[in-house]
């Protein structure tokens, strides 16, 4: 096969393609559009926009491989209408995201970042940074797919009560992971900490809004590693300022990077640059798994 790779992939993924004709060409360049004309497969990550315009130029294309979990940058319907198979790596970063979430939960409860900065600034006001234990708290998981379940599994050793809400709840999985399925309203009223694990859809855009936060417990913590637009940042900032929420830990933002965000003015936030799902191990899985799937499918043809 002739394969065009528009963004960086791992060495392991490159090795899988070693028996094929591979061209590295950055998306948007003249070379990219020249190479894509007679390519059999296109391997992308985040910044290559696979739309109708691109597909009109890729007349021989049979596969679009997304080295990642989501398909936001790929027009799946347009691909299917042209007989182009789309392959991605669902669940490949669940372990990495789950570990990041638990880290954020613990850092939030212990005010880790502010404590760290205080000591680096030659401070030693220990009473100022007395935190809380995660043990004995109630954690609500909004969304109980691969990542939500991975978080629930990791929380089992912390002595917390886990509540879970999902439109398509797998009650058997919840039982296995000691998570209690509940309706969203009950989860909001009962949880000391809430972690968001839902996809960005029209129905979930600004799901975490003023009404959502108003139903939460006073002093609760919110963690979001899913998609930035699920949270109404203006509402979040307002309730962090007035103390309704005690802390927010965010890996994703409405605008990325969040240049000039009012979040930067707050001390009760922990912010990371959309890296929850990106580890050495998960990146290898995200690249190698869908390429292996494509090659297996091509072999069957």
Active site residues: 227, 256, 274
Q: Within a 10 A sphere around the Cβ of 38, how many other Cβ atoms? A: 12
CB 174 within 8 A of CB 156: no
Where do runs of H (alpha helix) occur along the chain? 11-16, 30-36, 52-57, 76-81, 94-109, 112-120, 146-155, 171-176, 184-190, 210-214, 233-241, 280-300
The DSSP output letter for 87 is E
> Beta strand pairing status for 85-87 and 63-66?
parallel
CB 214 within 8 A of CB 189: no
CA atoms within 13 A on the CB side of 223: 28
Sheet with 41-44, strands from edge to edge, namely: 21-24, 2-5, 41-44, 63-66, 85-87
CA end-to-end span of the chain: 12
Cα separation, 185 vs 165, in Å, equals: 9
Would you state the structure tokens that stand for residue 175, as one six-digit string? 């039982």
Reported residue count of the chain is 301
Conformation bin of residue 5: beta by default, left when phi > 0, alpha when psi is -120 to 50: beta
- Give the H/E segment covering residue 41: strand 41-44
């Amino acid at each position: 096969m002739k394969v065009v790779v528009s963004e960086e992939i791992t060495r392991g993924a490159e090795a899988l393609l070693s028996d094929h004709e591979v061209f590295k060409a950055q998306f948007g360049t003249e070379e990219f559009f020249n190479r894509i004309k007679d390519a059999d497969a296109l391997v992308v990550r985040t910044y290559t926009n696979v739309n109708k315009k691109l597909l009109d130029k890729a007349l021989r294309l049979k596969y679009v491989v997304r080295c990642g979990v989501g398909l936001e940058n790929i027009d799946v319907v347009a691909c299917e209408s042209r007989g182009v198979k789309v392959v991605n790596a669902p669940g490949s970063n669940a372990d990495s995201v789950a570990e990041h979430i638990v880290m954020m939960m613990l850092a939030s409860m212990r005010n880790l970042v502010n404590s760290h900065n205080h000591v680096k600034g030659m401070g030693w006001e220990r009473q100022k940074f007395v935190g809380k234990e995660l043990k004995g708290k109630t954690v609500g998981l909004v969304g109980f797919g691969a990542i939500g379940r991975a978080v629930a599994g990791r929380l089992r050793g912390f002595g917390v009560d886990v509540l879970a809400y999902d439109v398509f709840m797998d009650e058997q999985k919840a039982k296995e992971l000691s998570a209690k399925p509940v309706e969203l309203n009950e989860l909001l009223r009962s949880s000391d900490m809430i972690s968001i694990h839902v996809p960005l859809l029209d129905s979930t855009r600004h799901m975490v809004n003023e009404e959502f936060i108003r139903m939460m417990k006073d002093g609760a913590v919110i963690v979001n590693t899913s998609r930035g637009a699920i949270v109404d940042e203006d509402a979040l900032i307002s309730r962090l300022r007035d103390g309704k929420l005690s802390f927010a830990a965010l890996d994703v933002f409405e605008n990325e990077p969040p240049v000039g965000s009012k979040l930067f003015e707050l001390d009760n936030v922990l912010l990371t640059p959309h890296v929850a799902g990106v580890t050495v191990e998960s990146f290898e899985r995200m690249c190698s798994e869908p390429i292996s799937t494509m090659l297996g499918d091509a072999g069957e043809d």
